[in-house]
Amino acid sequence: MDVKIRTALVSVSNKDGILEFAKQLSGMGVKIISTGGTARALAEAGIDVVSIDAVTGFPEMMDGRVKTLHPKIHGGLLALRDKADHAAALKEHNIEPIDLVCVNLYPFEQTVAKAGCTFEEAIENIDIGGPSMVRSASKNHKYVTVVTSPAQYGRVIEEMRAKNGAVGEALRKDCARVAFGLTAAYDAAISKYLNGQAGVHYPERISLAVTKQADLRYGENPHQTAAFYTLPPSGETSVGSAAMLEGGSAISFNNLLDVNAAFELAKEFAEPAAVVVKHLNPCGCAIDDDIRTAYEKAYLGDVVSAFGGIVALNRKVDVKLAETIMESYSLFGKAAGAAGFFAEVIIAPQFDAEAVKAIRTMKEWGQRVRLMATGPIDRTRIDRTEFDVRCIVGGLLLQERDLVGWEPDLLEYPTKVKPTPEQLEDLRIAWLTAKHVKSNTITLVSGRKLVGVGAGQMNRVESGFIAFKNAGAAAKGAAMGSDAFFPFPDNVVNAGKAGIACIVQPGGSKKDDETIAAADAAGIAMVFAKKRHFKH
């Protein structure tokens, strides 16, 4: 059923496009009712407008807190036009039906995100009348069109022009669906803020307000559907806030998982750092004074696994770095035993225009690679309120994010041999890298470069064997990191056989004494970090 739009109520905080939308409505003979600043803006633009107090018979009061909460408004929105008693009530109380509501809500999230926002300011930016009208109109979408975003203006006008001023049932239903999602997200944002103000980390109910960014080609496998959603902006530099540059293939579910893993490790370092990730685990990671050298070292960490991987950098990509990445195979990989090289995604704070041109033109795969620009990494802006969420069938597990890094003041040095400053630097990288590798984890670092990884094994001994094998001769003199303590000295004994020079691990095992003794016997310097980094 089509419903002719005769009367519209317009009240918006975001005035983008509202004047043109209202002009189009007015031009089709629609009576426009409006409030406060919106009414003034429409009137100043020469659009005929009826003030809300002229409809209700009451002035806007209490600093605008009360203006639309009135039977003459909600009666006009909620009346079922085909019910005789509803029609009689409209007539008896002189209530005019409202056919279209155009409302967007007070900018609560933007307000609380501002530095110095007071609790009083936050409360005043909780919209009451707006969500009430949106919900009333959405409930009665059989007769009422509810418009909550400037992105919908064109579609509504187009339909009204095609239907002689009417809106069809399909569009009204779709607008109502979107509107209830908006009010749910709005309430979720308010709840999150109030929980934070009260210091409640795990409240009785949690609503996750996320916004759809894209349908994905498929999920982890072709038989699974998938989509990408983002949380409200927090100010933290992340994959969720990154911009996709033009060109390249559509990004996939697996790409996004991997690029997040890569970029979060790159963010750990203040120095120029490069990371290569394959299947959620870093196969390359290095830091250096120069970002191109850091990339070369990271790529050479495992040239075989780097094929089809994700490249993450914490510095701008200029044309020289872009050319180095594109020529990775011919410059370094062929001699190191690679069969070839291409990247699925390159993520960095920024790409120079010439760098993008080089990536897109130097190699055939450059036309497909996805480029993501995050903007500058501000390590002071970390969203500590964001949960690490894991799904189980029928529920969610929530925990704080693991934001523990390298904490020099907590380190203990239980062995006879102490690490040199150079070894401590490699131990730092081994520790931070181990944090981002699936457990059980062993990482090996030499010369500020990841040279071996053992990831996700059912026992830590096996992870060690894999790391030693991957590192080969580079294991000799390397630093070893373990995400959790050694329950037995076997890993340390094996490390001694491989020529490992120093180890960082949490400590805290009942058999620490045996592990320390094994390290002393092998001449290994061991450090206890006093924290654990399980990553299941």
| 134 vs 145: CA distance, rounded Å | 10
Per the annotation, the verdict on 93 as an active-site residue is no
Asked if 279 is an active-site residue, the reply is: yes
- b/e 168-199 (16+ beta carbons within 10 angstroms → b): beebbeebbebbbebbebbebbbbbbebeeee
Q: How far apart are CA 495 and CA 502, in angstroms?
A: 9
Instruction: Give me the residues paired with residue 278 across strands.
Output: 281
Cα separation of the two ends of the chain: 53
Instruction: Report CA Rg, the chain.
Output: 30
Spell out the residues 6+ positions from residue 354 whose beta carbon is closer than 8 angstroms to its own: 318, 319, 322
Check if the beta carbon of residue 444 is closer than 8 Å to that of residue 477: no
Nearest CA-CA partner of 255 in 280, 289, 290 = 280
4, 23, 31, 139: which is the annotated catalytic residue?
139
Residue 10, phi then psi, degrees to nearest 5: -120, 120
Tell me how many degrees the CA angle 414-416-420 measures, rounded to the nearest 5: 90
On whether the CB atoms of residues 334 and 367 are closer than 8 A, the answer is no
Query: Which residue type occupies 465?
Result: F
- Three-state DSSP class for 381? coil
Using CB atoms within 10 A of its CB, is residue 119 exposed (0-12), middle (13-18) or buried (19+)?
exposed
- Provide the β-strand partners of residue 102: 10, 147
Residue 317 is given by DSSP the state B
Residue 177: partners with Cβ closer than 8 Å, 6 or more residues away: none
Report how far residue 470's alpha carbon sits from residue 124's, in angstroms, rounded to the nearest whole number: 59
Task: Given the residues 23, 279, 334, 357, select the one marked as catalytic.
Answer: 279
Q: By the 8 A CB rule, do 20 and 26 touch?
A: no
Return the ∠ at Cα 216 (arms to 211 and 217), rounded to 5°. 170
d(Cα 514, Cα 123) in Å, to the nearest integer?
59
The gap from C-alpha 347 to its chain's centroid, in whole angstroms, comes to: 14
Active site residues: 139, 279
